Amino acid sequence: MLKTITITSEHILQQVKLSCKIPEIIQEIITRKIVAVAAEEVGIEVEDEALQKTADTFRLINNLGSAEETWLWLQKHHLSIDDFEQIAYISFISGELAKHLFADKVEPYFFENQLDYIGVVMYEVILDDEDLAIELYYTIKEGEMSFYDVAHKYIQDTELRRKCGYRGIVHRKDLKPEISAAVFVAKPPQLLKPIVTSSGINLIFVEEIFQAELDDKLRHKIIADFFSQWLKQQIEQMKIIQEF
């Protein structure tokens, strides 16, 4: 039995290949290079204070509350302090580039597509049997079982069952058309009649409907969506030379 194993850079590259991760890693490299060049072309400046704030946010997201935890995380991922600063740098210029390119497009896009961002708080149980779904619908309506009892009994996924089928706040554009049509004419709180979709028979409880509001979170998401599409277009146009 082996007691000592030496791992080299060549071994790591070979494992990356065997794991079939080369395409996604190449895309990440291309993305980083595109962002760096574009940020320089538009004159994005990186100040120490902004970079520190980005690094602090990164540590917060990754639950690195102390210098010791950060150091252990760096060791685990074989990163140096310079590597960590590079992560913060790329994150910062990516965000600034996205805002530079698309911040002025957010409001026109939002108001043109406002209906897509109406939100609903809903719970959902997906069944295979339409007759059972109808039976459960009337059972809930008549008070013989609660929706949450049904969710606990019929949802297979453990985590979703623990949440009683809670889907969170879902936007119109993220729902199947047949579900969206029923959900957004509901008068919450309301249990909807079973809806047949390609996923199965959907039993849905609508708790609350939110009108669309362009808050900071949604503004950031729209910018991120624009930026993601822009990056995809840049990559498609890029000539890639591989030397490995």
Sequence-ordered list of residues with C-beta below 8 angstroms from that of 208, at least 6 positions apart, any chain:
120, 121, 188, 189
Can you say how many angstroms the Cα of residue 204 is from the centroid of all Cα atoms in its chain?
23
Total domains in the fold of the chain: 2
CATH code, 152: 3.10.50.40
**pLDDT for the residue 243:** 72
pLDDT digits (tens, 9 = 90+) for 130-152: 999 999 999 999 999 999 999 99
Domain check: are 98 and 131 in the same one? no
Looking at the domain assignment, is residue 241 inside a domain?
no
Looking at the domain assignment, is residue 92 inside a domain?
yes
Domain check: are 225 and 203 in the same one? no
Q: How confident is the model at residue 181 (pLDDT cuts 50, 70, 90)?
A: very high
Average pLDDT of span 104-127: 94
Looking at the domain assignment, is residue 130 inside a domain?
yes
Burial 205-229 (b: 16+ CB within 10 A, else e): bbbebeebeeeeebeeebbeebbee
Looking at the domain assignment, is residue 102 inside a domain?
yes
Domain check: are 16 and 104 in the same one? yes
Domain check: are 18 and 93 in the same one? yes
Per the structure, the complete domain to which residue 142 belongs is given by: 119-210
Q: How confident is the model at residue 124 (pLDDT cuts 50, 70, 90)?
A: very high
Domain check: are 103 and 15 in the same one? yes
Domain check: are 134 and 193 in the same one? yes
- Map tokens 């685990």 to a residue: 76
